[in-house]
């Protein structure tokens, strides 16, 4: 019997663990962002010696022919201030990709497309101000997409596609929302969404293709090369592609309480609370600003689900029952809406799940709000910048 219990425990742990099917690309991006380049200290003596030899050689050349050296130096400087040339091309890979800088707030200023038939690829260049933002690139076996946030279906030209989602990015005016270059591989590029600083584009392809991605600077740009030949230079076996467009790229919903934000620092000021329905979820947004001289952050918060819409007001202790059958409570530490939040403190939303959102307390820099839900739902949170806000998505049927 004991062996049976051990076996059940083993089976259960494996079953529970394998609910995570793959290592999240977003987490890989966060790790990559968190590891800073290190100096290659062990190369230092060799580099110093090489540098010294170059200086000696230059000195000898200057002494013999100064005009030639000046010309060469001018040429070198010209090369340095020109946009960085492409580094050694990476191989094409038939897999999804993510990268860029997490937390970087940028603007997309242009999209360029060009055919490089002789080199075997079509090139798309996304230009940004100030760096390449965090991005997810996913391939799919159809050119059908869902627009964000309207939920409208959109079918691009082609029989396969890639989707690019940029975080903390908006788009400059004048950037085309839809273009149809009709190249060998790249048939159409269309904006899918520009909402809450999540910017997404779909690229319709003539058929499933392998991709090469390069992040370049001076100017900041993300270069996406799409192979013309289905098997061109692929370094790995193509990964199977999803046939349906992904419902969302904003992370999974989980049916557990959660917390986040950042503690310490000055009390954050609540400036706005918004509620809206999006395809697949109801969204509650808490927007914050920093006091003068402070830096804005999403304050530390604890989000808890409950099986009733009954709450207790803080600090009065008065009971309050919101519309619905279930509840959600969010408690912010070091936050207040006193003097900065002037809109309704009792929002009757009447959305598919979120029925009512009401302030429960704002006392001693502890700010709490409750939401009445029509059904038990899983949740997802996003902490976004510019403006600083906590986004709570409540899954809808």
Which residue has 């360029």 as its token pair?
A: 112
Contact with other proteins (CB under 8 A) among 103, 252, 291, 294: 252
Torsion of CA 75, 77, 81, 85, to 10 degrees: 60
Give the residue, chosen from 120, 219, 238, 260, that forms a contact with other proteins under the rule CB under 8 A.
Answer: 260
Determine contact, residues 381/261, Cβ cutoff 8 Å.
no
Q: Are 341 and 357 in contact (CB under 8 A)?
A: no
* Among 90, 118, 112, CA closest to 228: 118
Can you tell me the distance from the alpha carbon of 338 to that of 344, in angstroms, rounded to the nearest whole number?
13
Residue closer to other proteins, measured from CB, 12 or 112: 12
Residue 306 interacting with other proteins (CB under 8 A): yes
Tokens representing residue 147 in the block: 């627009």
Q: Which residue from 113, 120, 165, 114 is spatially nearest to 139, judged by alpha carbons?
A: 165
Member of 259, 316, 344, 348 binding other proteins (CB under 8 A): 259
Closest separation between CB of residue 17 and other proteins, Å? 4
Q: Does the protein bind other proteins through residue 3 (CB under 8 A)?
A: no
Instruction: Number of residues interacting with other proteins: please give it, by CB under 8 A.
Output: 52
- Per DSSP, the residues of 32-50 read HHHSPP---GGGHHHHHHH
Contact indicator for 257, 302 with CB cutoff of 8 Å: yes
Q: Is 304 in the site for other proteins (CB under 8 A)?
A: yes
Among 274, 329, 345, 375, interactor with other proteins by CB under 8 A: 329
**What's the rounded Cα separation, in Å, for the pair 181 and 167?**
25
375 binds other proteins (CB under 8 A): no
Shortest separation between residue 322's beta carbon and other proteins, angstroms: 13
Element (H, E) at 328: strand 326-333
Nearer to other proteins, 35 or 80 (CB): 35
Q: Which of 206, 267, 355, 368 binds other proteins (CB under 8 A)?
A: 368
* Cβ 204 vs Cβ 184: under 8 Å: no
Among 69, 154, 246, 300, binds other proteins (CB under 8 A): 300
**In 3D, which of 147, 145, 396 has the Cα closest to residue 280?**
396
64 sits near other proteins (criterion: CB under 8 A): no
Return the range that interacts with other proteins (CB under 8 A); candidates 44-52, 78-86, 198-206, 309-317: 309-317
* CB nearer to other proteins: pick between 276 and 338: 338
Binding footprint of other proteins on the chain (CB under 8 A): 1-2, 5-6, 8-10, 12-14, 16-20, 22-24, 27-28, 30-32, 34-35, 37-40, 42-43, 252, 254, 256-260, 300, 302, 304-306, 311-312, 314, 329, 331, 361, 366, 368, 381
């Amino acid at each position: 019997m004991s062996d049976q219990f051990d076996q059940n425990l083993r089976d259960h742990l494996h079953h529970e663990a394998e609910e995570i099917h793959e290592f999240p690309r977003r987490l890989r991006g966060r790790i990559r962002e968190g590891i800073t380049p290190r100096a290659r200290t062990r190369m230092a003596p060799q580099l110093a010696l090489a540098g010294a030899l170059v200086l000696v050689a230059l000195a000898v050349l200057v002494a013999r022919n100064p005009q030639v050296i000046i010309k060469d130096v001018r040429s070198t400087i010209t090369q340095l201030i020109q946009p960085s040339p492409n580094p050694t091309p990476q191989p094409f890979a038939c897999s999804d990709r993510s990268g860029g800088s997490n937390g970087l707030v940028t603007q997309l200023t242009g999209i360029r497309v060009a055919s490089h038939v002789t080199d075997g690829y079509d090139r798309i260049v996304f230009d940004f101000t100030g760096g390449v933002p965090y991005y997810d690139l996913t391939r799919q076996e159809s050119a059908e997409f869902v627009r964000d946030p309207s939920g409208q279906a959109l079918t691009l030209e082609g029989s396969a596609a890639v989707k690019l989602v940029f975080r903390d990015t908006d788009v400059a005016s004048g950037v085309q929302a839809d273009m149809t270059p009709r190249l060998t591989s790249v048939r159409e590029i269309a904006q899918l969404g520009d909402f809450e600083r999540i910017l997404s584009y779909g690229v319709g392809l003539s058929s499933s293709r392998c991709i090469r991605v390069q992040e370049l600077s001076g100017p900041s740009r993300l270069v996406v090369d799409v192979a013309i030949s289905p098997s061109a230079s692929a370094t790995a076996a193509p990964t199977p592609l999803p046939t349906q467009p992904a419902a969302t790229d904003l992370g999974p919903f989980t049916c557990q309480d959660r917390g986040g934000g950042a503690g310490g620092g000055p009390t954050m000021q609540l400036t706005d609370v918004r509620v809206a329905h999006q395809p697949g979820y109801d969204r509650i947004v808490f927007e914050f600003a920093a006091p003068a001289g402070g830096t804005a952050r999403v304050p530390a918060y604890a989000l808890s689900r409950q099986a009733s819409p009954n709450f207790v007001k803080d600090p009065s202790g008065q009971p309050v029952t919101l519309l619905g059958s279930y509840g959600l409570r969010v408690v912010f530490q070091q936050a207040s809406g006193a003097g900065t939040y002037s809109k309704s403190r009792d929002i009757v939303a009447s959305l598919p799940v979120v029925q009512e959102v009401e302030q429960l307390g704002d006392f001693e820099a502890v700010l709490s709000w409750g939401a009445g839900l029509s059904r038990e739902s899983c949740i997802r949170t996003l902490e976004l910048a510019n403006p600083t806000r906590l986004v709570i998505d409540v899954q809808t049927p």
